[in-house]
């Protein structure tokens, strides 16, 4: 396997200091294909941006999967920065300029959602919104423990995302 390409000391677009590290790594993901993992990390202001790009071009795609238990937590999820990931009635992780790409599993997706809701709750002053966040966090924990089912929807106009499972329904976006 080839070592990742890393470049240190680049100017950060957020803080302007030459503390940005760029990384590019090529991986072959089973059932998905060859892709590039790209990231930017600033050691000064902690800016982070990550993406995944397929080596081959894909058509826009939508994946939907029903999560019903413990075994589903292991299902692999590949999300490009352009993709939007939705957990209905809980959270939408937007794609585009503010999006991040990642490779994880369903449990990892739920943990990311939990952290995003906790961050929003901790920075909110409205008690009603804090209460809603508390209920959303309870729901995520029940899903993680296999007590509540949920649906996950992954929509990617670039076609560089996938939910890798026979249970996932793939359709055109």
72-99 pLDDT, tens digit each: 999 999 998 889 999 999 999 988 766 7
129-160 pLDDT, tens digit each: 999 999 999 999 999 999 999 999 999 998 88
Q: Is 127 exposed, middle or buried (0-12, 13-18, 19+ CB in 10 A)?
A: exposed
Q: In this predicted model, which residue has the larger pLDDT, 54 or 150?
A: 150
Tell me what pLDDT residue 31 has. 62
Tell me what pLDDT residue 96 has. 74
Region 35-57 average pLDDT: 87
Domains along the chain?
A: 1-56 (2.20.25), 57-173 (2.60.120.1040)
Percent of the chain exceeding pLDDT 70 equals 97
Helix (H, G, I), strand (E, B) or coil at 145: coil
Residue 108: count other Cβ atoms within 10 Å of its Cβ: 14
Mean of the per-residue pLDDT values of the chain:
91
- Global pTM reads 0.78
Indicate if the pLDDT at residue 24 is higher than 70.
yes
Q: How far is Cα 97 from Cα 69, in angstroms, rounded to an integer?
A: 33
Q: How far is Cα 69 from Cα 155, in angstroms, rounded to an integer?
A: 23
């Amino acid at each position: 396997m080839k070592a990742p390409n890393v470049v240190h000391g680049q100017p950060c677009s957020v803080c302007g200091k030459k503390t940005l590290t760029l990384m590019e790594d090529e991986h072959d993901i089973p059932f998905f294909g060859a892709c590039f993992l790209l990231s930017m990390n600033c050691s000064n202001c902690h800016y982070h941006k990550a993406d995944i790009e397929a080596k081959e071009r894909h058509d826009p795609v939508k994946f939907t999967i029903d999560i019903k238990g413990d075994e589903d937590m292991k299902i692999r999820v590949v999300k490009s920065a352009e993709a939007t990931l939705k957990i209905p009635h809980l959270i939408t992780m937007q794609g585009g300029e503010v999006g991040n790409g990642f490779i994880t599993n369903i449990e990892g997706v739920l943990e990311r959602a939990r952290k995003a809701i906790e961050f929003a709750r901790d920075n909110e002053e409205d008690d009603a919104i804090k209460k809603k966040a508390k209920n959303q966090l309870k729901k995520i924990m029940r899903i993680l423990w296999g007590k509540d089912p949920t649906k996950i929807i992954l929509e990617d106009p670039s076609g560089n995302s996938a939910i890798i499972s026979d249970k996932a329904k793939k359709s055109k976006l």
